[in-house]
Amino acid sequence: MTGKPSVHPSSPMANRNLLESFARAFEGFSHVIWTQRHVRLQLFIVILVFLLCYTTGKNVTEVLFVISAISLVLMAELFNTAVEVVVNMITDVYHPLAKIAKDVAAGGVLIASIYAFLVGCAVFLNKNTINSFMKSTHTNLTDKINDANMVVMIIVGVALLFIIVPLAKVRVGHGSILRGGAVSGHSAVSFLLCAAIAISSNFNPTASIMALVLAILVAQSRVEGKIHSLAEVLWGAAVALVLVALLILVAHPV
């Protein structure tokens, strides 16, 4: 009898639903981030690249090329780590075939990195880009905050929180992706919205205080329900406020 082997539904390796599949994907991505130091460096470079894209006024096509290069490198790193883990699981002694498997996977990362380098040269190392960067002028930070498109910032901020919070939970190993954990997701979202309301209202005292009270009530409910500790909701608030500051800095650099 032939056929593809399947994982029994009761097996710990089986995903019971789509949500659990996403949770395990986050766990895999988190493993690569926290165990591969060069991947953390790459993510830091990604932030700088996006900042450079904005300050030099790149168009949609150029940004898409940059995103494709970044995605290709990160995907190659994920597959490379997966190959290394499988090889190490099979054998813990030197074997020529094990070496070939790891070298080929590393070769995939090399090709992706070369592509990213070429894209970076084509997009950034040209006369128009350099002139645009050198001649760019900026208004003061207060004006930029008031002019920021808060709807876009909120969407981007919430999307980033859905990545950052689960990664922090997996890293610390406390709670689960969807409940509890080292950082309160509810607290993070509520304080992000609080900051957005305060900024969009030009720090109007009434609106800002009401938004803050609502955010505190959300955080307090997580502690009252014994889902999070006080420290965990404070971490959520801190992550949100730092994220808002970074989004403003990236979108409207000083």
Distance separating alpha carbons of residues 210 and 206, to the nearest angstrom: 6
Q: Does residue 192 contact residue 161 with C-beta atoms inside 8 Å?
A: yes
Catalytic residue among 77, 84, 224, 232: 77
Two tokens, residue 191: 């304080």
- Residue 12 DSSP one-character state: T
CA distance 117 to 119: 5
* Cα–Cα distance measured from residue 91 to residue 93, given in angstroms and rounded to the nearest whole number: 6
Query: CA 233, CA 219: separation in Å to the nearest integer?
Result: 6
Indicate if 20 belongs to the active site: no
> What angle in degrees, to the nearest 10, is found between the helix axes of 185-200 and 230-251?
40
- What is the Cα gyration radius of the chain? 22
**DSSP assignment of 68-84:** HHHHHHHHHHHHHHHHH
The catalytic residue positions are: 77
